[in-house]
Amino acid sequence: MNRKEFLNVIAALGGASLLPASLMEAVAGPVPAKKDRRRMDPSKVVLLSDIHISGEFKEDGTPIKYPYNPTSLNLRIAEILEMRPLPANVIVFGDVAWDYGLEEDYRYAKELLSPLEKAGIKVTLALGNHDRRAPFFKVFPEYAENTPVPGRAVSVVSLPDVDIVMLDSLAELPDLKPKQKTTVSGELDAAQVEWLRSYLSEGTRPVIIGAHHTLQDMPDLSKLIIESGRVAGYIYGHKHVWNKVASILRPRKPMHMLPTVGLPATFYGDIGFVTMQTDAEKAVVEFTSKGFWWPQPVAEPPKEWLQREKDLQAEKVTILF
């Protein structure tokens, strides 16, 4: 999205008064280079989810679907690039595509995310129920080439003190046609279950598992977590709302009280992103709220939206290793 397109979208949303001036400048124009721009913290990671990017455009160049969607992602990216130090990693927890996982969705998402990688930040993508593997692998072939589970987008993000294992919970139906909906719920295939069991049994470093769907969608995953002493927490997207809860996977055994964290979206629901700062003993997961849009941002939000934003200030979770 160029400067003119961005300003046209903002005008359609009710004007620049909806956005801080610093972010207007950061997204609408190039950010001047700074001496410390590439200074990074390898123990810091930003978590995004449900970016839902559509690559279909009208003749005038505006997205056919909600035009504020890529605008919101651009704003989150601008905020990440203003962090000092920068996070070494950004992870997107699925639903990269708008609805049907079209190839053009992934091409546009790749373009929008490119400022992060140009700044030296490693971007890792997971798949959700609105994604499709074949077009995703076509645009991002490195995921098909580097996955430890053939045919699935599985990644391991290694921080200095913890590994983040990103699983592929997409329950993709066979013989999908373009723009055909698939099941909303998630699942882990047998190959992922076996790989994860082996991975957890071979190492000693703490592990945080991530996927698009909730633990309730994947009972086999809960069983693996119970069996292993390495898993410190579980993080997911899908619901578009921030949520934190301790899941009791086996009653009367505190070692199986697992912190689980539901991430916000970049549009439609809780808006924002999560920053995770890790050390040898813990990961502190902090939500940065940017408001509540349902289904779109408005100039004068309802009181319930404003209260939700207040309720989410200073929200964080500590995951102990």
182 CB contacts (<8 Å, ≥6 apart)? 129, 171, 172, 173, 176
pLDDT along the chain (321 residues), means of 10: 45 44 45 56 98 94 86 97 98 96 97 98 98 97 98 98 98 84 90 98 96 95 92 97 91 81 96 98 97 91 95 96 96
pLDDT digit string (tens) for 16-72? 434 444 444 444 444 434 444 569 999 999 999 999 999 999 998 888 888 889 999
Domains of the chain, residue spans: 3-320
pLDDT recorded at residue 64: 86
Please tell me the distance from the alpha carbon of residue 157 to that of residue 306, in angstroms, as a whole number. Answer: 35
pLDDT digit string (tens) for 96-128? 999 999 999 999 999 999 999 999 999 999 999
Closest among 240, 235, 179 to 50, alpha carbons compared = 240
Please tell me the distance from the alpha carbon of residue 287 to that of residue 79, in angstroms, as a whole number. Answer: 13
Residue type, 296: Q
pTM for this entry: 0.88
- Cis omega (within 30 of 0) for bond into 302: no
The number of angstroms, rounded, from the C-alpha of 251 to the middle of its chain's C-alpha atoms is 31
Please tell me the distance from the alpha carbon of residue 220 to that of residue 213, in angstroms, as a whole number. Answer: 13
Q: Which of 3.20.20.80, 3.60.21.10, 3.30.230.70, 3.30.360.30 would CATH assign to domain 3-320? A: 3.60.21.10
Please tell me the distance from the alpha carbon of residue 107 to that of residue 98, in angstroms, as a whole number. Answer: 12
pLDDT recorded at residue 248: 87
